[in-house]
């Protein structure tokens, strides 16, 4: 019988610089603003007269991801896209990223190849250049830090603090899918621990699994805004849950808000899994996070421009700060103060 098990290369066989060469030797630069990428003490970027935006996210094994059910290629892809989502939330275009990893000796070179295949896939998908980073040893598992750099004309930038009284509160896409995908993965992982021979029950849930494992940033919305001839007055991406993001916008804009429960959209798979696990889809949308849709406000005068757009929903409106931030329930229309119950990385 032929042994088809692939051999693994220990990290120590390559050393730090050999590993860096292996992971970066096939980089092809895509952007004119990248004058010098990987290979020197610093990357060199030239953005002419445009404004630069910079954002960083840190993903830690056991906190942000579980390698029992997260494929390394998907993890690499997600590590990039969650950063790019922040750039798009500024109405800016990402151009470069840096990637730093802390990795334990138990991980093989081939495993890191798989991780970086996802990173490069995201770079190709979003036309960004990998221009640097760092590698070091970890005693507690894998850690990935990605920094994204983007550009925009000054007049195109959108901040969190621009929402005005009577503005419409809008969101792209549907919500809660990533959280329900996570619940499905966690459930099947617990079953696997008890019976490793049991086949995971994933059939019919491909959409919510992809929302969790391989989220996409809303790159398309920048062009959609231009085509519709609108510019949001404020914007943020939905990483920690809708409730937290609305409160961020309202706090920084010093306004109140009315969010209408019956205006929120859910995919059928989200609703089906929520029913199976006895979870209200509203809870998934408000508190689940990781949907990476864009939450934004526009002047009420622009309502007709977005009214029939399939990817944009009006879910509420901005009020005076004195009215507070409230959820208006479906049916009886009860007003409930909105609380930030989204994911908190520092919570015990």
Q: What is the tens place of the pLDDT at every residue in 197-218?
A: 888 889 999 999 999 999 999 9
Decide: helix, strand or coil at residue 174.
coil
Tell me if 163 is assigned to some domain: no
Tell me if 348 is assigned to some domain: no
Tell me which residue range forms the domain holding 279.
Answer: 168-337
CA distance to 87, 125, 178, 232, per residue, from 92 (Å): 6, 16, 24, 12
Kindly report the CATH number assigned to the domain that includes residue 27.
Answer: 3.30.1330.10
Residue 14 banded pLDDT, cuts 50, 70, 90: low
- One domain for residues 96 and 23: yes
Instruction: State which of 4-13, 55-64, 321-330 shows the largest mean pLDDT.
Output: 321-330
d(CA 37, CA 128): 12
The confidence score (pLDDT) of residue 7 equals 72
Interval 326-344 mean pLDDT? 84
Decide: helix, strand or coil at residue 247.
helix
User: Cβ contacts of residue 339 below 8 Å, gap of 6+?
Assistant: 243
- One domain for residues 205 and 303: yes
In which region does residue 164 sit, left (phi positive, over 0), alpha (psi from -120 to 50) or beta (all else)?
beta
Contact 23, 103 (CB under 8 A): no
CA distance to 214, 245, 329, 336, 342, per residue, from 288 (Å): 16, 12, 18, 19, 6
Residue 6 banded pLDDT, cuts 50, 70, 90: low
Which residue is it, tokens 């959609």?
224
| pLDDT-above-70 percentage for the chain | 87
Tell me if 60 is assigned to some domain: yes
Tell me the backbone φ, ψ of residue 291, rounded to 5 degrees: -80, -30
Q: What is the tens place of the pLDDT at every residue in 284-312?
A: 999 999 999 999 999 999 999 999 999 99
Tell me if 6 is assigned to some domain: no
- One domain for residues 150 and 172: no
- One domain for residues 328 and 276: yes
Residue 20 banded pLDDT, cuts 50, 70, 90: low
- One domain for residues 115 and 172: no
- One domain for residues 197 and 299: yes
- One domain for residues 89 and 50: yes
d(CA 307, CA 313): 8
**Least confidently predicted of 37-41, 64-68, 159-163, 220-224:** 37-41
d(CA 286, CA 187): 21
pTM for this predicted structure: 0.88
Q: What is the tens place of the pLDDT at every residue in 119-135?
A: 999 999 999 999 988 88
The confidence score (pLDDT) of residue 99 equals 95
Q: Of 156, 176, 207, at which residue does a domain stop? A: 156
d(CA 52, CA 44): 14
Tell me if 232 is assigned to some domain: yes
Q: Of 156, 189, 221, at which residue does a domain stop? A: 156
- One domain for residues 84 and 126: yes
- One domain for residues 151 and 175: no
Tell me if 3 is assigned to some domain: no
More confident residue, 332 or 170: 170
- One domain for residues 149 and 194: no
Interval 276-289 mean pLDDT? 96
Tell me if 5 is assigned to some domain: no
CA distance to 62, 114, 166, 234, 237, per residue, from 253 (Å): 35, 42, 13, 8, 16
Tell me the backbone φ, ψ of residue 305, rounded to 5 degrees: -70, -30
- One domain for residues 145 and 266: no
| Token pair belonging to 310 | 């399939």
| Positions of E strands within the chain | 34-36, 44-45, 51-60, 93-103, 129-137, 143-152, 168-172, 234-237, 256-260, 294-298, 312-319, 325-328, 335-337
More confident residue, 192 or 126: 126
Please tell me the total count of domains within the chain: 2
| Token pair belonging to 273 | 């899994």
Tell me the backbone φ, ψ of residue 145, rounded to 5 degrees: -120, 125
Kindly report the CATH number assigned to the domain that includes residue 269.
Answer: 3.90.650.10
Tell me if 117 is assigned to some domain: yes
Strand partners, 129: 96
- One domain for residues 214 and 262: yes
Helix (H) or strand (E) holding 340: none
Contact 263, 129 (CB under 8 A): no
| Token pair belonging to 33 | 């603003």
d(CA 119, CA 340): 31
Q: Of 134, 156, 178, at which residue does a domain stop? A: 156
| pLDDT-above-90 percentage for the chain | 71
């Amino acid at each position: 019988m032929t042994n088809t098990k692939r051999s693994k290369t220990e990290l120590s066989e390559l050393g730090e610089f050999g590993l860096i060469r292996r992971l970066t030797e096939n980089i092809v630069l895509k952007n004119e603003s990248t004058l010098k990428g990987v290979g020197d003490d610093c990357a060199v970027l030239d953005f002419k007269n445009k404004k630069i935006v910079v954002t960083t996210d840190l993903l830690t094994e056991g906190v942000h991801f579980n390698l029992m059910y997260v494929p390394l290629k998907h993890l690499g892809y997600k590590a990039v896209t969650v950063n790019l989502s922040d750039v798009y939330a500024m109405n800016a275009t990402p151009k470069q990223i840096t990637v730093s990893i802390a990795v334990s000796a138990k991980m093989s070179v081939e495993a890191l190849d798989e991780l970086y295949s996802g990173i490069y896939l995201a770079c190709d998908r979003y036309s960004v250049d990998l221009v640097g980073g760092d590698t070091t040893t970890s005693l507690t598992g894998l850690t990935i830090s990605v920094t994204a750099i983007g550009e925009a004309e000054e007049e195109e930038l959108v901040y969190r603090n621009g929402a005005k009284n009577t503005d419409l509160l809008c969101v792209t896409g549907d919500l809660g899918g990533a959280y329900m995908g996570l619940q499905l993965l966690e459930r099947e992982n617990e079953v696997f621990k008890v019976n490793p021979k049991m086949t995971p029950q994933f059939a019919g849930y491909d959409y919510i699994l992809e929302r969790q494992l391989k989220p996409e940033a809303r790159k398309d919305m920048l062009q959609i805004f231009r085509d519709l001839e609108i510019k949001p007055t404020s914007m943020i991406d939905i990483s920690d849950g809708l409730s937290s993001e609305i409160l961020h916008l309202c706090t920084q804009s010093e306004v109140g808000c009315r969010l209408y429960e019956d205006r929120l959209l859910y995919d059928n798979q989200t609703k089906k899994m929520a029913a199976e696990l006895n979870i209200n889809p509203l809870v998934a949308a408000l508190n689940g996070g990781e949907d990476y849709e864009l939450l934004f406000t526009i002047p009420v005068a622009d309502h007709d421009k977005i009214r029939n757009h399939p990817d944009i929903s009006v879910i509420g409106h901005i009020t005076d700060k004195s009215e507070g931030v409230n959820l208006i329930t479906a049916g009886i229309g009860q007003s409930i103060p909105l609380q930030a119950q989204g994911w908190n990385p520092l919570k015990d």
